[in-house]
Structure formats: C-alpha cells, structure tokens
Copies of this chain bind each other. A is one copy, B any other.
Amino acid sequence: MVADPTWFTEASDELGVGFSLKLRDKLHEETSNYQTIAVYATETFGRLMTIDGLVMLTDRDNFVYHEMMTHPAIFAHGQVKNVVIIGGGDCGTLREVLKHRHIESVAQIDIDERVTRVAERYFPRLTESNDDPRAHLAFTDGVAWMAGADGGSVDLIIIDSTDPIGPAEGLFNEAFYRQCHRVLAPRGMLVQQSESPLAHAALIRDMHGGLARAGFAATHLLSFPQPCYPTGWWSATLAARDDPALAMPAAELNFHTEYYTPAMHHAAFSQPAFMQRILAGA
C-alpha cells in the first residue's frame, strides 16, 4: 500500500484500515525462531516495535495499554499476591504489576525470549523492573505452561498477547480458558487484551461467551484509547472466577501513572450503547 520508505504503515485489507507513523530510522530487525521483530525510531512517537509487520508498541502511547491491562484488574481483585503474565515479552505489563508493593510474585511466560532481549536494548524504561526479585521470566509456550501449572495457584492471569492469529491463536478459546480457570485460586481473575470494540465486536462477544462456558462467573469489558492499534480504540476483557463483586480501586494511588486514575478505572467499565447490546447477546 505505501511506497514511501519514510513511513511505517500497518494496513489490513480485512479491517479496511491502516495506521502510519513517520520514521527517522530502522534501528533493528531480526527473525527469531517464531517471528520477525523490528524496531524503528519514529518522528513523533519515539521508538516503535513491530512483530511480523504489526505494531506492538511505541514509546509514546504504550502507557495506556500497559496501565489498563494491569491496574483495573489488580484493584478489582483487591488481594492479588501471585500473578502470571502470558505473553508480555516487552515487559511493560510486568513493570506496571510490580508497582503494587503487596504483590509477591509475578511470572512472565513469553514464548520468544528475543522480544524481551530487544525490549531490554531499545525500550529500557519498559524493562526497568526486570531485576525486581519478585519477577520471574520464563521463555516457553503459554498454553503448555498453563496446562502444567498447579490448580488454584494464581490470583491473577494477564494474557498480554498478539492478535488471535498466528502464535497467540491458542490463547483465545474455551479450552485455554478452562485451564486458566483451573489454575486460578478462589476469587481469582483473568484479564486479556480483546482487540477493538469497533472492529472486533464479534471476537469480543465470542471471548465473553467462551469465558462463561469455561466457568467464569462474570465478564467485563474495559475500553480505552490506543492510537497505535487498528481504529485507535482498544479493550481488555476481565473475567472473575467466582464472586462477581469487584473491589474498588484505591482512592489515591501510591505510584505514578500517565493514564490510570481511580476515576478512569470506573470510566473504563462503562460501555457504549452498541457494545451493551452486543454483550447482552453474548
């Protein structure tokens, strides 16, 4: 679609939309055992990481995604001690989780160690907490890891994956959700990135249905802007193993954020009218 090498463009024929960032340089490109990872310097969004030509994150706007994948679920649970992140190799989600001092252990399970090594080199702010003694990084398949994990051993599972095509496909189905349900402790929760409310409403409906069939007592959709992803409008799905009541966020945060606030926590749970209707039919 784009002939001009001074712009990076992700365009989807299926979605009919494209997003472009003006580039300064390509800083890195490698093909790991799983995918092709590239890093660019953009003119206005800082650095950009792509995997197989799809935008993963930028310096400028990753704060929204990483904060919304973590703080709402942690506060909604209220007593998280043990966390597992499936995917999340750039370590931005790990960093946000570790801001909660009461959390005792965070395991990050990403299949591709190269994503983490590239992030350490080109996105050092995202990986700044990797040496926290509570952080445990493993580079293995998330589906297999979950199948082998002890039942009832985890308070919060965060599924921070790429789109539900390719390597991450196995993370978006009822069989995987059943394993997650088994691994969660009583009152445990799961949160998973769930694509664009505008472009992927059918996927969101299917995810909520699959989670319910897998035994989760309640599901919620969290919506937020994400400029670098298709349509600029993104979501996370929060599922509660048992009690559908959600704890309240702290009135005042004891750590720095750029997007998340207690008010934004409540705002993110509100659904547009069209999405209310879609979820009511899920």
CB-based closest 8 A-B pairs? A232-B232, A16-B44, A18-B20, A267-B267, A3-B3, A225-B233, A267-B270, A16-B22
Residue A42 is within 8 A (CB to CB) of chain B in the complex: yes
Jot down 28 A-B pairs with beta carbons below 8 A, ordered by A: A1-B7, A2-B2, A7-B11, A11-B20, A11-B22, A13-B22, A15-B44, A16-B21, A16-B44, A17-B19, A17-B22, A17-B45, A18-B18, A61-B198, A197-B225, A225-B231, A225-B232, A227-B231, A227-B233, A232-B233, A257-B273, A258-B272, A258-B274, A259-B274, A260-B272, A263-B270, A266-B270, A267-B267
Contact A258 B232 (CB under 8 A): no
Residue A261 is within 8 A (CB to CB) of chain B in the complex: yes
Within 8 A of B (CB), among A173-227: 197-198, 223, 225-227
Q: In the complex, A180→B1 CA distance in Å?
A: 45
Contact B18 A9 (CB under 8 A): yes
